Structure formats: structure tokens, C-alpha cells
Chain A
Amino acid sequence: MRAAAALLAHELRLAVRSGGEMAQGLVFFMLALALFPLGVGPGPVILERIGVGLIWVLALFSVTLTLERLYAEDARDGTLDLLATSGVAFELVALVKAVAHWLTSGLVLVLCSPLVVLLLGLPREAYVAVPVVLLLGTPTLTLIGGIGAALLVGSRRGGLLLALIVLPLEIPVLIFGVSAIEGWVSGLGASAQVMILGAMLLGTLALAPFATAAALRLALE
């Protein structure tokens, strides 16, 4: 457990030190959202209609964008060997790395999402709905994406391949994420969608570390 805590502290320190990489996902997210009103015109009707979907699609891309380096660097420089021979289970490594990645990517999006709601001129209810639903959905994106990142360790230019592997698996999160926010904002209720998102989070939390660990073991061979 001490080693896991040390790994978490190590990962967070690395993310803070190379601040540019951490900001990459957020900057992409905010820039794209800021450009959309310019592209489709500032009419509030269109933005309100596509806003929620836009937030989720860009969150998906933003998280995937920063996932590529989750294990690639560690495999290249030998840190993965170091972790493997230290006796810390790869399942725990996968979980800790996912937590660290989410804290520096998904959580940052959650914290900035009220600003996005303002930017897109979404209804007042969205100031609560968007952050809460993103809070529930983005960890699932990181956990699923971690499997893809581990599978692609050692492949050159894995970025596009990662998107191809991971994005289809993340579609359910997109569908229920959008539906939850829309249900919430329109007053139709979103408890079913929120529960499904919660179930997906718990399911991936339980299973993804094992799949990621298996992929990492393959990478050592």
C-alpha cells in the first residue's frame, strides 16, 4: 500500500512538473468549445440544442488525447520493468495510474465545466447537471482508455489506433451522459441515466484494472 501511495504521489508530481502535458487536454477542450459558437453562429437555439452533446464529445476526445502517454513513456524508459520487479501488483499500478490520470484530466474538465455552460448559454440547471454527470462519466473514460493505452505500449504512433480502439467502447458513456444532462435540464428526470452511468463506473472500476494489467504483462514480453 505504501508503494501505491508513493506511485500516486510520483505520478501527480510528474503531471504537475510537465504542466504543459496536463494542460493539453483542458486547452483542447476549452479551445474547441470556444470555436464552435464562431463556427455554427452565435444563435442560442443551435448552441442550446447541440451544447450538451458537444461537451461530451469533446470530453471524450480530450481524455483520449492525454491517455496516449499513460504507459508508453514508462515502457520505453524501463519504469515498467522497475514497477514489475518491485512487487506492486500491476492491477494496483493500473488503478493508481488511472486515478492519477483522472485527477489531472477528467477532474480538471469537471471543475471547468460551469464556465463551458456559461460559454454555450445553456439553461441554469445545467450549471449543476453538467459537472455532476461529468464527474460520474469521466472516470469511466479514463479506466476504459487505460486498457487501450496499455495494449498499445510499444507501438509507434499509437494515438490514432488508441482512438479507434477506445472510442467505440466509450460510446455508452457518451449516450447516457448526454441523455442524463438533457433529462436533468429539461426536468424530465435523469435518475435512470445517472444510475446507469454509476453502474458503468463501478463495473469498469472493478474490471478495467485487470484488463489493463494483463495488457501490461504482454508488453513486458
Chain B
Amino acid sequence: MNPADDALDALVRARGLACRRAGRDVFSDLSLAVDRGGALLLRGPNGSGKSSLLRTLAGLLEPAAGESHVAPAADGSPGLHYVGHGDPAKPTLSVEENLAFAAALGGGGGDVEAGLRAFALVRLADTPARYLSSGQRRRLSLARLVVSHKAVWLLDEPGVGLDKTNRDRLQAAIADHRRKGGAVIAATHGDVAIADAAVLDFGR
């Protein structure tokens, strides 16, 4: 297979992406491709454009130039799940209800139980989210990844606020997702290790 076919087959690909924020060029002419089972780590100092790239790939930011494409899910909905800095947990809903909403948004096929188990939230399933610590809220956000059942995970600093045990759970979830043919693009400062991931360094 030649490289061009390979790129067409990729779950995520971007060509010549550029991003301008507040009149400043954050990055330009950025191309990437991530295959099934692949992983890409975004590295770089604060403000170097990692989050902007993730939001552009998620379709939340309009690129100043270039194009990006994420393979859609089987039902035609976007084939990605984005975990940003916010934790969209509704304080009055229980952990399980919060996840059930994510599952329903993702088309209704999500497995809430699997999400609870992946981040050890089973014991907290009935707890209203307002009683969660920030680390637990983070785990709820990450559990949405498992529940929403999308092929591409876009993670912005996913390890923030997690202890060692839960960082291990996150790494296990990522490894499991890639084994099943999913792809992961993550911005980290090195607190989450992803085996044989490609690295895109913004810190040049």
C-alpha cells in the first residue's frame, strides 16, 4: 500500500492546517494522519497550540487554512469524542444519569456499565455529581469516552487531577481502545504514557 492510500484509510487526517487565535498564528501548515490503533501525543509548552489543534480536529474551531477529517461513525454522526478541560457533569444528576445522557447523545448504543467499570465509578453510580471530588469528576468525563463508543478519542490533558491508580486505569482504557481499532490523540505533559505513540512536538 502506498502512503497516499494509507492516508485515505486513516481515521484522522489533516493537511496544511493553520490556526489563528486573537490575531496570532498558533500553528500553520500542520499535517497529520492517525490510523486505526494508532496514537499521537501532542507535546509542547503552555499556549503552543495543543488544545487549539484538538479543538480544530473536533470541529469546534474553524481552521484558518487547510482541512481536517475524522472518519464518521457508522450512523453518520461524528466519529470522535473530545475530552476538554471542562468536566460536563450536571451537579444534580447522579454519575450514572450523567453517563446515560452521554450514551443517549452518542446514538443510544453506549454501555454505561462498561464506563462505570473502566474508571471504578460503580460504587459512586448513584451519587449526585455535586458530591464528587475534582478527580472523580475527571474520571466521569473519561468514562464518557468508553460510553460514547467513538473510534477517535481527542484528549486534552486527560491526566489532570488523577492519582497514580487512575492514571493506570486511563492508560489501560487507551490501550484497550487501540486494541479494538480505535485511535487516540492526546495532549499531555508526560503524566500519561501511551505505548509506541507518535509524537508531535510544538515546542520548537
Contacts and interface: CB of A to CB of B under 8 A. Distances in A.
Contacts of A172: none
Interface in B90-112: 90, 92-93, 97, 101-102, 104-108
Interface string A144-187: 00000000000000000000000000000000000000000000
Contacts of A18: 92
A78 B86 contact: yes
B57 to A, nearest CB: 10
Interface string B76-99: 111011101111111011000100
B78 A10 contact: no
B88 A3 contact: no
The range of chain A's interface size is 20 to 34
Interface in A81-101: 81-88
A81 B82 contact: yes
Contact of A81 (B62, B86, B148): B86
A82 B145 CA distance: 11
A77 B98 CA distance: 13
A6 B59 contact: no
Given A14-B90, A14-B93, A81 B108 contact: no
B61 interface: yes
Contacts of A84: 58-60
A7 interface: yes
Interface residues of B, number: 31
B77 A6 contact: no
A13 B105 contact: no
A198 B62 CA distance: 38
Contact of B76 (A3, A79, A87, A88): A87
A86 B78 contact: yes
A50 interface: no
A2 interface: yes
Interface string A179-221: 0000000000000000000000000000000000000000011
Nearest to B60: A220
A214 to B, nearest CB: 13
A78 B88 contact: yes
Nearest to B85: A78
Interface of B: 58-62, 76-78, 80-82, 84-90, 92-93, 97, 101-102, 104-108, 141, 144, 148
9 contacts: A2-B104, A2-B108, A3-B107, A78-B86, A79-B88, A81-B58, A85-B81, A86-B105, A87-B78
